[in-house]
Amino acid sequence: MANLSQQQIDFRNAMAQLPAAVNIITTNGPGGRCGITASAVCSVTDSPPTVLVCVNRNSATHDVFRTNGRLCVNVLCGEQEELARHFAGMTQVPMAERFAWDLWDGGDTGVPVLRDALVQLEGRISECKEVGSHSVMFVELSKVGVRGEGDSLVYFNRLFHRIEHAVAAC
């Protein structure tokens, strides 16, 4: 962690202890087609249905998301860890090959939607705010898909973990 202040190191270590869902954020349009693995996704409101997605401004994909203005948050299930690794850049698989696999459908606006995702949230970027090194993109949802079954994939302590699907007691 070269060139980081102690406060930045402490913050990163603290955030590593905050379990978060693993998502692949995808886009397609005039800026191109791309996707990234991200855990910085959060609900904002249900009226209108809106989530926020944080993307590092130094990421090669940042401007693609901004140019296209549309994206899909694909919430991963437990068995999709390898896919998360590909879209996190942990493997040498090129972006075009990742989308060539028979896993994707075209969403309502042509944005790649992961067919077997636990949840699919399609929408348009309605607002973008720059905060430090990241852009916080507010995404107004036009379509919500819920699979309703399957384990969840979370990121905790800098590792992927599978969380079993449990049925809530009444």
Q: Which two tokens stand for residue 94?
A: 């090129």
Question: In percent, how much of the chain has pLDDT > 90?
Answer: 80
pLDDT tens string 89-137: 999 999 999 999 999 999 888 999 999 999 999 999 999 999 999 999 9
With CA atoms as reference, report the closest residue to 34 among 69, 64, 67.
64
Distance between CA atoms of residues 50 and 21, nearest Å: 17
Q: Is the pTM of this model over 0.85?
A: yes
2 pLDDT band, cuts 50/70/90, is low
Closest of 47, 16, 8, 59 to residue 161, by C-alpha: 16
pLDDT in tens, 25-79: 999 999 999 999 999 999 999 999 999 999 999 999 999 999 999 999 999 999 9
